[in-house]
Structure 1
Amino acid sequence: MEEPSQQVRRLSRRTARLESLLKKYKRKSQLQYTLIQLSEQASTVAELTLLYPAIHNILSQYLPSKSFYVVLQNRFTQALELSYFVDEKDGISVPLHEAHHFKDGVTGFVFKSGETVYLTKDNMLARAKAGDFKIMGSQAEHWVGVPIYRDGAIIGVMVSQSYLADQAYSDDQIELLEVMSLYLATAIERVKKRELLESEVKIRTRALMQSNEALNKEIENRKRALERQQILFKISELATQFSDIDDVYQQVHDIIRSITFADNLYIALYDTEKNWLTFPYHIDEKTSYKPRPFAKGYSELVIRTEQSQLIDSIRAKALALDGTVERPAGYNHKLAATSWLGAPLKTATGVIGLIACQAYDHKYEFNYDDVELISFVSNQIATVLQTHLANQALKISHQQLEHRVAEKTKELQQTNLHLQMQMEERKKIEQQLYHDAHHDSLTGLPNRSLFLTQLEKTLKKHHRYPEDNFAVLFIDLDKFKDINDELGHQAGDQFLVWVAQSFSECIREHDLLARLAGDEFVILLDHLTDRQQAEDVAKRIIKVMQQPFCLKGVCMQSGASIGITYSNKLYRNTDEIIRDADAAMYYAKNAGRGRYEFYHPLLTASSNGHKQQEQHHLDKLPTHFRCTEIVNWSDNAQPIGFLEAFGEHPVLGSTSFDILKKFAAEKSQLLEIELHLLNKAQEITHSRDEDMLFGCSAMLLESAHFDALKQQLKRQEKALCLLFEESEIRFASSQQILNLRTLADMGIPIGLNNFGKDRCDLTLISQVDFTYLLLSSTFSKRVLQQTSYEVQLQGILAVTKVKSVKVIARGPAILNFRSLLEKHGLQLFFGKQQMLDKNKGRKAFIQNLDNESVPS
């Protein structure tokens, strides 16, 4: 049995061991808690200036650290620099900013040695005497320095010191400092990255704000530009849609009212010869305006300075005091405007008047934004007003006339120079017209060229995959001419744009809608499984077109006649498809309009097989010829006639043979009809004095038929001018072009018909020696409506002048615009409306050459 003394000794050893373990555990726990606090501070503080005080606060809980600082090495200069400093005695009086201050002291010694150094006051003095380092600042009783490492390299020193002799540092406290130094570099790096990230965020935020400001400014500028563009559109309408000057004044008032306060507005005109002001339009709640001599009022100030004027109550008094403005005797100052704004109406000949707005009783105060807007509007309106006023004037002064002639001459010279450059750089012209060759400028839809290209691809695909069917819908708008006549051509254009949008909503996304010309549209439906799908589209279009088209309170009823041709293996080219769809459309139109018809080879025939064969022979139909005289306004007028053949069809009635030939069953029959009609035309030409123009098909130029054509032309005693469609010649083969040149070499007059209908190809004119060139009615109308087509016309006239080709303008009512077309150098006009010849007193007419005259 163990002795009591042995038990006591054993228990004492265990107690000592437990106390040691407890002390060790307490130290480890303390270190762990300290590191956790350090990690939390490194994760939460936003900048280094806050991290060091947090570390200092943690250390002060476990060791004497009222005097504490951190020194880090500058990675660029390699000098030791103070990052954090708190001291009981030195404060910030120690010159820590001096270069190499820490390098020579005990801090530098720790940095060089890379080891922890603990010194008492005596030890420090002794080692300083030994030359290990220099003593800097106040002498501490206890000093401990710990190196700071990062990635195995020392980057700085952390120091804690005490000025009290009884406040020494224990091994545990020194160990705590060493542990803190191990994690300090990581904490510093984390805070630096957070500072850098926040700095980048601030920079990017500032850049984003600046970008948003620029974007807002750009949006505001675009909005302002759009508003001004809308104003210009409204002003442009004044020049064409209103003939009454009072209506123009009212529209001007409405435009200004839309941009600023204009309850009180007047328009004044200045007569420079009489030195007189008139007020043709005024709306005012207090003042009435009467004509008066030019004096010293607000209006006169605008006209004299030729600048916009903004006058408030203060400026009004100043103008009155210096004599710039004088009020008439008996003027009631209570009726004076509190804010007045006037803008001059400037034209090329000077200021013709002004537009003024005013407000009473401080109801509105005009500002410089109002000045800018009204000045902008007045500059645009001035020319419109001058044009309308000129139409009402009895005469134009000689000086104004000379100025206009000079301006027009300059414009023509510039145009001629531009055209010469265009002719020398034909490639540039083709690039400029490329878009017009593939898209309709009005509706933005594909045009004939692009449609035929896509149709040809679809046809080839159908030949490879017969189960993949397609259909073509040929659409002609009903009563489109009535809309143009009643509402004007601009309304007609808006109607066509509305139609294009409406048709687009009736088809699928991959279907193709195109505008051929005028009021003719075509639709290509692909990937069809049966004819019913094409029929459904036609029904939707007819339903849409039953809606009336309204503009400015006037509504017009239109409609659509639709011809449909469905794919079959017999089709070999796109012309056949378009021909059949067009024929079906004409049948639908003649059958009552507002309907659709599918094409069938027996479309015009009865159910009787014998009658069907007879009706298909178009040469058996009763025929007659009509001659329309082409008006010649030149001094040496040479009579010219346009000869057309008509047939009495049992279903379609009296119809042009150009339409009837589309129903011919075989190509050989077409050739027979062409030669037959040409022979009759030659007989008529023999008995006529004037030059005769007669339309022919390019089929006659094919090698198989050309010999027959030459033989027939050789028999004629008087030359008959053969007109070929421009669209056919454009796609003619090289052999057909060669045969066309052969006709010209034989002395046979030849011409191009419907030139410029969907594109303007000047190369056609230069390839062959044509005698006549008939512009299409579509192109003639566009010349009068769009400036870009005036440039194209000048190009045509320049080429035809060199080639000695006679150009004829064509249209249903083109003679109404004779004076406008004459300024471009056109002298020949062809239409169906009677027009009195100003020089010879005779009328254009249409004559039935079977000895029966009919009115035009």
Structure 2
Amino acid sequence: MEKRKLPSVSCNNIEHLQRRVSRLRRLATKYKRAEIIQNALLEISNIATHVVSLDAFYQGVHNHLQSLIPADNFFIASVDNNTGNISLPFFADEKDPHPSELYPDEEISSLLQRGITGYVLKTGEPLFCDEQRFVELVAEGKIDDLGSPCLQWLGFPIKHNNIVSGVLVVQSYSNDISYGELELELMGFICHHISGVMERLRHNEELEIAIIQRTKELSQAYDKVKLEVQERVKAEKLQESLFQIADLSASNISGQDFYPQIHQVISQLLPADNCFISLVHKASKTLSFPFYVSQLSGEPPKPRAMQDGLTEFILKHQQPKLLSQQDIKDMVQAGVIYGTNPALNHTQTMKQWIGIPLFIHGEIAGGLTIYSLTDQNSYEAKDLELLTFVSQHIANAIERKFAVEQLKRSHELLEDKVEKRTKAIAEMNDNLQRQIMQRKKMEAQLVYDAKHDNLTGLPNRSFFMERLSQAIKHVRRHQDEQFSLLFIDLDGFKQINDTLGHLEGDRFLIETSTRLKLCIRENDTLARLGGDEFVILLDSIHNLKDAEEVCERILQTISEPYVLAHQQVISGASIGVAFSCLNASDNSESILRNADTAMYQAKSKGKGCYVIFDRETEYHFNQRIELEQDFLSALENGNIVVELTPIVSFTDSDILAYEPISHWQHPSQGLIDNNELSTLANQTQTMMMLDDYIFKYIDHHYKALASGLGDGIQIHIPLSSQHIKHKYGLRSLKNTIKRSQISASKLWIFFHEKSFVKDSTHHISAFESLVELGVNIGINGFGTGYSSLSSLSFLPIKALKLDADVSQHLINDKQLQLAKAYQLIATTLGFEIYAEGVNTLEQKKTLESLGYHQGQGEVFSIANLVLTQHTEQVETPALASELII
């Protein structure tokens, strides 16, 4: 029996434990559900706290709901309790677009009212609907079949104060997604919670609308107050104007200032850009115009006899008038005005005209007139009334002004008589005193003029040499002190004088002296020796660095642009520096000469720099002077050798033309090539002489060249732009061309692009003059001066020569593109284009690939050899030996 009872007890315990487990599971599920719902409500509360609009709130609810239940197909319907209209403020569906797109011809509120959403709104009860239930509702006629069929549809009404204000809906199109009791309960809690949030946000929106409306009402009230304030301001301004007129009548200002200030007062009240005051002179029956301002003319009318103008019309009828342009035309056609004096009629451009008669003691004394020339300043009847009222005060002010002036003139006459008698005695003393003072001034001026430059007011050479001598004596007495002498020569001064004139050149020197003063101390001495040469004595300097700092400041300030003849001019300076007591025998002349020598050394280095004098500097300078003298001698004696270099076709190596180049075999310094010769010529101002030498050399031997090389020989001659900077140089060049044996059609003259860019005016004029002789004009050094396309397009030139520096630096893509652009420019404008400085086959091939077909350079040595063979056939033996081809 015991064995039978033991199993029975065990079964009861097991059943009891199972019931407890089941109960615990239900409790766990309930707590879990409560936790989910609590978290959902907390998150929705958090969303509602941060959003500022219903749209953002709906989006937040949807995002959070998706994390709890499947809600990819979710929408919210909202009911406007005032109108009963239903809207969809939020809609998300996998299959169907927004109902307004799915049923574009139906109004969305009535559409939703007929569907399952409207059913929930009507019943106010939650609805869990599957396919079978949906078919039943359609069959019963409670809803219409709208949209794509779904497997499950769950809708829960949103209520506020037991009134349905919307529906929260989720639906499923998949068997994998199903809704149950938990989803229904969760939707219920969410709807209950969000109804208050929706009401709060809706209330906020209504509050914002109310605020906007109230703001609009306040703005209108403000405008009304503002208008009242404006009227009050106008009244105050009128009162202020009347006070100003009264003050003017009692003031001590002259008539010349009285009327403009009256006009200024009128202008404060209404537009008066065109205004004049006329006064009647009864005795002579004339009109005068003491004040006149007009946009048509700055010339006031002259006094005239009374005639039949508009002003006389107002004075005659003694009534203020506001006339339009048509009114004036009608009066003119009727002969009321300007009938006998049509020349007075200048009213054609007037839009409106106001005339006010001025009365003094009840009699007409003149008139006040304003008029407008545009529709912007239009006058009204109230302006006529305002001006009529003000005119009474203006007439009183004029009357009082006349009385004050008459009394003033009486006093002045009396004072004048007293003053004349007083002055008669004082004049004799004053004359004697003036003569003494004038004599002293003249003596002081003579002393000053003798020691200063008339143009700049700086110390001149005489004064400076005295000051320099004193400085030398001082440093000899004080061995620990020294000074420095700066010799400054301005770069480009001659060009400024030649191109802009001597007046602008003087302005340039005055401006330069002002700039130099700013670079030195008060105890230093700045002087002008003459021309564009300045000197500075830097007194009591400590070391070499002090002088160098001053030189750098001077170079910097002189390099800044000058404004001369309404254009910017760039200059520079070359500075020579000498220090005191390099030798015990140094005097003022030797130190000045040392600084001058250093200055010329700076010029030879390319200008725009400074050189400090030492014995080596003196040696190089003397050597350079000798070289320049030898060069001039070589030009005079014909020791410069001229060569012809060929211009060759890249395709077949045919020789197209020849260009002369020169070199000089110096007895001690060896060969000086073409570039060094050009530099020497520029330094010695003999570039035109060198050009003439080469031109005449080629011209002298042209017949022999033509005999040996053929009549079709073309000559390319590069010339300095100095030939065309003034009319004398251009005239000389034209005479040389006319006397030349070279046919003008076979002669090509090239000017450098940089020179053309710097002075395009003289070049354009000279080009036109030279083309009339039949010669061909070209630009060489192309690509260095960056001529504008617009300037090239109207020049009478036929050829461009690419600068050798461009040909020899075709390394990267940008340089290749630039060279190609130059070729396209020449082709587009119809110019021949040649490449200079083609020294290697690689350069030649690169240029050919860019479209260049002709040029010159060391790579064409074979062409030179052929040309030598041709030259050997020249009949004149001397020519074959002189011309090195």
TM-score by length of 2: 0.34
Which protein has the larger Cα radius of gyration, Structure 1 or Structure 2? Answer: 2
TM-score by length of 1: 0.35
